[in-house]
């Protein structure tokens, strides 16, 4: 199915992926991901390894493979189950990434220096007493090169500094929804199915996609009204948040709870399905604040550096700056 057909199908099923931006359009553009090296991600653990234990932790630099593929290969090499390989987050294969994996190998020794995986280099190894799990890292440091940048250099630099000060809307990025929104289309196909079908491993991306989409819809409303940075009456946290839908009463209250429920009313069958799956009501920050921000211009290219917390998306920062032409996606 072509991307145009998928876009038309998405709209016909009530899904819209062009979420509103918080900052005015600068009529600027750039080429994005011309080469894998143009998108570098360095995982920041935020803690030290214990130096002993039943888990061997490996730092792997990966150029062409995704996280799940690397985990599967490591499990086969170590002679362990794939579930005994841990990692803190999923990384894109169309990038150069550095991330840690843990292998539950018990007390036996393993020569990690002899490991060879296509497109990967093992940089370091250490023992630890715990398995690495999703979201337990401190965040990710990004170094992104934009090429063929079109737009007023001074104005773009001012916008970049404004983003550094104010942050951006904390949308789930387009990667969450699959190429052309395919994960959302899968959720639509699964809607009549029993909850046990949704729980199958192959359908977990569809579950994550629909839950993330509902959050983005609520955030979109707050962006349109200019309230995404600020706590409003009924918010259960001391910072602005939106719902990650699940079982139980909404964590928000008063007018905010009614507002969120009204916004998601047209998606009530999906909300009910998420409740039946046993997911709990949670909240996610509406504001994404980049840290350690840097900027270097070189002719028509622009090298941007910044760090983000776990579970957030660099593309949500970049989309507030300029319009991106994703060359990796165009070449698929």
CB 215 within 8 A of CB 222: no
| Catalytic residue (one of 31, 38, 84, 92) | 92
Q: Which pLDDT value is given to residue 329?
A: 58
Range name among 102-106, 114-118, 216-220 with the lowest pLDDT average: 114-118
CB 181 within 8 A of CB 15: yes
Over the stretch 221-241, which tens digit does the pLDDT of each residue have? 999 999 999 999 999 999 999
Q: Which pLDDT value is given to residue 1?
A: 45
pLDDT class of 142 with cuts at 50, 70, 90: very high
Evaluate the CA torsion angle 247, 252, 257, 262 in order and state its sign: negative
Q: Which pLDDT value is given to residue 75?
A: 97
pLDDT class of 2 with cuts at 50, 70, 90: very low
d(C-alpha 228, C-alpha 171), whole Å: 11
Q: Which of 28, 6, 27, 10 lies closest to 19, judged by CA?
A: 10
Q: What is the mean pLDDT of the chain?
A: 93
Over the stretch 147-195, which tens digit does the pLDDT of each residue have? 999 999 999 999 999 999 999 999 999 989 988 889 999 999 999 998 8
Over the stretch 261-313, which tens digit does the pLDDT of each residue have? 999 999 999 999 999 998 999 999 999 999 999 999 988 899 999 999 999 99
Share of residues in the chain with pLDDT > 70 (%): 94
pLDDT class of 332 with cuts at 50, 70, 90: very low
Q: What is the pTM of this model?
A: 0.91
pLDDT at residue 9 is higher than 80: no
d(C-alpha 309, C-alpha 146), whole Å: 22
Strand ranges in the chain using DSSP code E only, listed in sequence order: 29-32, 39-44, 55-62, 85-87, 96-104, 120-128, 139-150, 168-169, 241-244, 282-285, 287-288, 291-298, 301-308, 323-326
Over the stretch 45-85, which tens digit does the pLDDT of each residue have? 999 999 999 999 999 999 989 999 999 999 999 999 999 99
All domains in the chain, ordered by first residue: 3-28+169-288 (3.30.2340.10), 47-128 (3.30.2350.20)
Is 111 considered catalytic here? no
Q: Which pLDDT value is given to residue 4?
A: 58
């Amino acid at each position: 199915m072509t991307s145009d057909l998928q876009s038309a199908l998405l709209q016909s099923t009530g899904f819209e992926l062009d979420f509103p931006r918080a900052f005015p359009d600068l009529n600027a553009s750039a080429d994005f991901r011309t080469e894998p090296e143009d998108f570098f991600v360095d995982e920041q653990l935020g803690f030290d390894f214990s130096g002993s234990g039943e888990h061997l932790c490996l730092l792997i630099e990966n150029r062409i493979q995704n996280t799940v593929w690397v985990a599967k290969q490591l499990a086969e090499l170590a002679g362990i189950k794939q579930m005994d390989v841990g990692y803190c987050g999923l990384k894109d294969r169309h990038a150069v990434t550095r991330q840690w994996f843990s292998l539950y190998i018990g007390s036996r020794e393993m020569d990690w220096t002899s490991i060879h995986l296509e497109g990967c280099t093992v940089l370091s190894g250490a023992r630890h007493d715990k398995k690495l799990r999703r979201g337990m890292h401190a965040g990710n440091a990004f170094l992104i090169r934009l090429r063929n940048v079109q737009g007023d250099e001074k104005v773009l630099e001012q916008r970049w500094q404004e983003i550094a000060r104010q942050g951006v809307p904390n949308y789930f990025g387009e990667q969450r929804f699959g190429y052309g929104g395919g994960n959302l289309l899968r959720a639509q196909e699964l809607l009549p199915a029993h909850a046990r079908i949704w729980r199958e491993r192959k359908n977990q991306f569809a579950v994550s996609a629909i839950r993330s989409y509902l959050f983005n819809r609520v955030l979109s409303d707050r962006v349109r009204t200019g309230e995404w940075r600020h706590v409003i009456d009924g918010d259960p946290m001391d910072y602005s948040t939106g719902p990650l839908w699940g079982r139980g009463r909404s964590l928000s209250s008063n007018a905010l709870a009614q507002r969120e429920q009204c916004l998601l009313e047209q998606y009530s069958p999906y909300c009910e399905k998420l409740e039946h799956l046993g997911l709990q009501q949670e909240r996610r920050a509406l504001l994404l604040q980049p840290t350690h921000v840097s900027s270097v211009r070189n002719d028509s290219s622009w090298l941007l550096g910044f760090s983000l917390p776990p579970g957030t998306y660099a593309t949500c920062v970049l989309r507030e700056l300029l319009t991106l032409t994703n060359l990796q996606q165009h070449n698929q």
